[in-house]
Structure 1
Amino acid sequence: MHDEATRVPLKGRSSRLPFVIYVLALGTFLMLTTEFVVAGILPDIAADLRVSVARAGTLITVFAIGMIVGAPLMAMLTLRMPRRVTLMLALGVFAVGHVIVAVGSDFGVLLAARFLTALATGAFWAVAAVVATRVAGPGMASRAVGVVNAGGMLATVLGVPLGALLGQFVGWRGTFWALAILAVVAIPMIARHVPRGGAEHGSVSIRSELVALNSGRLWLALATCAATTGGVLAAYSYITPLLTERTGIPANLVPLVLAGFGVGSLVGSLLGGRIGDSRPHTATIVAPLATALILTALALVAGASIPTTILLVLLGLFGLGANPVLISLAVRYASHAPTLGSSLSVAAFNLGTAIASWIGGIALGTGLGTTGPVLVGAVIAALTLIPATALALIQRSRAAETSPESVNALS
C-alpha cells in the first residue's frame, strides 16, 4: 500500500505549491499566535482574574511546558496514525482548550486548559512539516516547509498584535474565542486537502527513532535552541508592563510596537535561513551575542519610547533569526529520525521559554521591576554562546578530519 502523501509526479509537475501547504501554514499561524498572544494581553488577564501579572505570566509558562511534553510525545504516539487524522484531532483539541479559557474564571482551570492546548499544538507542529515535505515532494520540500514555518513567523507580525488589539475592543476573552473559531474553520480544510493515509509503516518503531538521542551534537543543538529562545522570551513575556509602566507608551499603541517585533522576527528568520545555508554556526553564534547586547541596551534606555521601540524590532531580528538554522541542525543531527529531531527542537524552544518566563516573573517582583525580565533575558542570551560555540568547534574539528577545505564552511 502506497502512502498517498508521497505520490509526486516526476514529469510535468507544476512549480506552484499545493494548496494544502497554505492550510498547514494557517495552522502554524494559529499555534504560534496562541503561544505568544498572552504577552500582549497579560495585564488585562491579571486584572480580570484578580491575580498578579507575574502569576498570570504562568499561563505562558504552562503552555511552554505542555509543548515540551507534547511535541516529542505526540511525534512518537502518532507515528502510525494517519497524519490527516492527527492534524484534525489537534485542531479540535486546540479549539476546545480555547473555549475553556474564554469562558473560565478559575485560574487553575485556565492553566489546565492552556496545558491541554499546548499538547495539541505540539502534535500539530510535529506532523505539519512532515506532511508538507511529502505532499510537495523532494523537489520543493524545503520551500514547502519554509511556507509552513512562515505561517508561524507571521503570527508575530499579525496574530499577536491583532490579538492584543482585539482584546482592547472586546476583552481578552474575545481573543481566545477568535482563535477557537479559526481552528474550527481549519478542520474541514485539513480534512479536504490533506491526503488520506500518511502514517508511518511497520518498519518505523519508537525504539529505532530513539537511537537518534545518542548524538552529542543533537543535544548541543537542543541546548542552543532552549537558551536562544529563553533569552528572548524572558523579556518578551513581560514586555507589555515595561512598555506601559516604564516606557510610558499608551496601551492602545502597544500592538503597534509588538508588530514591530514581529516584522523583525519575520525578516530575521528569512535572513537567518539564507545565511544558515552556507554558515550555520556563524548564525547561531552571532544571533545570541547580538541579542545579549540588545537586551542590555533595552534595560538601560527603557524609559525612552523611540529607542525602546527600535531595540524591540532588533530583538525580533536577531533574537529569533537563528531558529530556522537550529531546527535544520537538529534534524540533521537526528540522522534517520528527522521527525523526532524536529519535535525535540520545538520542545527545546519551549523548555527555554518555560524556564526563562518563570525566572522573568520572579525578577519582575524584585526591586528591578519591569526591567528585571529584560536583564534575565540578557544573561540567558549570553549563556547561549556556550553550547553554540561548542557545537561550532566540534563541527570544525569533524570538518578538518574529513576535508581541510571545508573547515571554513562550518557546515
Structure 2
Amino acid sequence: MPLPILALAIASFCIGTTEFVIMGLLPEVAADLGVSIPSAGLLVTGYALGVVFGAPIVAMATARLPRKPVLIGLATLFVIGNFFCAIAPNYWLLMAARVFTAFGHGAFFGIGSVVAASLVPRNKRASAIALMFAGLTLSNILGVPAGTALGEAFGWRDTFLAVVGIGLVSVAAIAWLVPSDVAEPSGGGLLGELRVLGKLQVWLAMLIASLASASLFAVFTYIKPYLTDVSGLSTATVTWVLLLFGAGMTIGNIIGGRLADWKLMPTVITTLLAMALLFAVFTEFGAIASVAVAIVFLWGMLIFIVVPPLQIRVVEAAAEGPNLAATLNQGAFNVGNAGGAWIGGLAISWGVSYANLPLVGAALALLAVMVAVLSQSLDRRAVVQT
C-alpha cells in the first residue's frame, strides 16, 4: 500500500470507528446520561444527518483550498469532535458533538478518494480508493469491537478518548506522508465543481449508490431480530455473525477495487444482480442457521464490492471538478442507509414478516440494476456518437 494512501486509511479507520462504535455503547450512554435507549439511538441518526447535510457545505467551503491542508483539517475536526463527545456533560451536548464530528465525514471520503485516485496510474485508481476505504471496513472488525469492550470495561467516554488518540495518529500521518501538491483543485473553483453536477451520469451514479445502500439497510437494520427469530441464533452468536459481516466487507472492498479497474460498470451490474439473488436465497433458506451465517458473510462482501466502483464512477464522471461530486456520493450512501431503514420498517408495519423482509432488499437491488444498465447504455451511446 502506498504510504500516502496508508495515511488516508488510518483516518478512515478512525472515522468508521467513530460512526459505528456508538451502536455497541447505547445502554452505557443511556444509563450515564439518563435517557432511554431509543433516545440514545438517535445519536446514530444525528450523525447520519450530519454526514448528509455537512458533506456539500464543507466541500463547497473548501473548493479552492489545497487538498492536503483540507484533509489535515478534516482529520483534526474528528479529533476535536470526539474529544467533545468524551467530555459532553449531557445528552444534547453529546448530540451536538456527534453532528459536528459528522460534518467532516462525507467531505473526507469524497476528497480523500480524489486524492487516492491521483496517487496511482489510471488503471489502478479504483484499487487505490478501495485501499483507502479498507480502514472503514477494518473499523467494523477491529475498531468497533475493541471500542465496545473498552467502553464496557472502563466507561463509554474512554472509548471516545481512544478514538481521539487514533485521530491524532491520522493527522500526523497525513501531514507527514501525503504530498503537498496532490490533486490540487481545478481552476474552475466552486463554479467548476457545481458545473459538473449538471451531468446526468454523476446523478445516476449517486442514485445507484443510494439504491444499493437502501437494499442493504432495509434488511440489515433488522438483522438481529431476523437472525434470532427466523434463523434461531442466540443473541451472543449474532455478535460474531456481525463480525463475519465486517470481514466480508473488507474482502469485498479489495475485490471491488480490482474488478472496477478491469471492468467498472459490468462489476456494478453483476454484483447488484448477485445481491438480488442472495436476498431471494435468504428469504427461502434463512431459517437454516448455517445458511443464514454464510449469506451474511457473502452479503457483506457483495455490498462493498460496489463501493469502490461507484466512487470512482463519480470521480470520472465529474472529472472537471470531482471533489464536490465525490463528497455528495458519500451523502448518497447515507441517504440510502436512512431510506432503506425507513422502507424496511414501513414494510414490517404493513405486515411483511422478518422472514420475507429480504424480498424488499431484492426489489431495491433490482432497481439499482435498472439504473446501472441505463447508465451503461448511455455510455455506449456516447461512444457511438463520438
* TM-score, structure 1 normalization: 0.79
Whether contact under 8 Å (1:161, 1:255) holds in the other structure is no
Amino acid aligned to 2:48: A
Match of 2:43 in 1: 59
Alpha-carbon RMSD across the aligned residues, in angstroms, is 3.5
Amino acid aligned to 2:257: G
Say if 1:391 and 1:141 are closer, same or farther in 2 by CA, change over 3 A.
closer
Match of 2:333 in 1: 349
SS of alignment partner, residue 336 of structure 1: coil
Match of 1:192 in 2: 176
Report which stretch shifted further, 59-68 or 218-227: 59-68
Cα distance in structure 1, aligned partners of 2:65 and 2:190: 13
Q: CA deviation at 1:337?
A: 1.8
Say if 1:134 and 1:320 are closer, same or farther in 2 by CA, change over 3 A.
closer
Whether contact under 8 Å (1:39, 1:236) holds in the other structure is no
Match of 1:323 in 2: 307
Match of 1:157 in 2: 141
Q: CA deviation at 1:254?
A: 4.5
Say if 1:245 and 1:139 are closer, same or farther in 2 by CA, change over 3 A.
closer
Q: Which consecutive unaligned segments of at least 5 residues does structure 2 have?
A: none
- 1:169 aligns to 2:150 (yes or no): no
Q: Deviations over 1:231-257 (max 9, x none)?
A: 223433454565567744344x55432
SS of alignment partner, residue 79 of structure 1: coil
Match of 2:234 in 1: 249
Whether contact under 8 Å (2:279, 2:359) holds in the other structure is yes
SS of alignment partner, residue 103 of structure 2: helix
Residue of structure 1 aligned with 2:380, choices 399, 403, 408: 399
SS of alignment partner, residue 112 of structure 2: helix
SS of alignment partner, residue 320 of structure 1: helix
Amino acid aligned to 1:263: A
Whether contact under 8 Å (1:81, 1:199) holds in the other structure is no
- 1:110 aligns to 2:91 (yes or no): no
* TM-score, structure 2 normalization: 0.83
Match of 2:129 in 1: 145
- 1:216 aligns to 2:197 (yes or no): no
Report which stretch shifted further, 175-184 or 219-228: 175-184
Amino acid aligned to 2:178: V
Q: CA deviation at 1:122?
A: 2.4
- 1:69 aligns to 2:31 (yes or no): no
Whether contact under 8 Å (2:278, 2:299) holds in the other structure is yes
Say if 1:214 and 1:281 are closer, same or farther in 2 by CA, change over 3 A.
same
Cα distance in structure 2, aligned partners of 1:299 and 1:46: 34
Report which stretch shifted further, 385-394 or 72-81: 385-394
Amino acid aligned to 1:153: T
Amino acid aligned to 2:109: W
Cα distance in structure 2, aligned partners of 1:363 and 1:352: 16
Say if 1:57 and 1:303 are closer, same or farther in 2 by CA, change over 3 A.
farther
Whether contact under 8 Å (2:129, 2:312) holds in the other structure is no
Which residues in structure 2 correspond to 1:220-299 (within 5 Å)? 220-240=204-224, 247-251=232-236, 253-295=237-279, 298=282
Amino acid aligned to 2:166: L
Q: CA deviation at 1:229?
A: 1.1
Say if 1:149 and 1:103 are closer, same or farther in 2 by CA, change over 3 A.
same
Q: Deviations over 1:292-344 (max 9, x none)?
A: 45446556766664333222112101222211111122222223122233212
Q: Which consecutive unaligned segments of at least 5 residues does structure 1 have?
A: 1-15, 405-411
Residue of structure 2 aligned with 1:310, choices 288, 291, 294: 294
Say if 1:274 and 1:387 are closer, same or farther in 2 by CA, change over 3 A.
same
SS of alignment partner, residue 57 of structure 1: helix
Say if 1:309 and 1:132 are closer, same or farther in 2 by CA, change over 3 A.
same
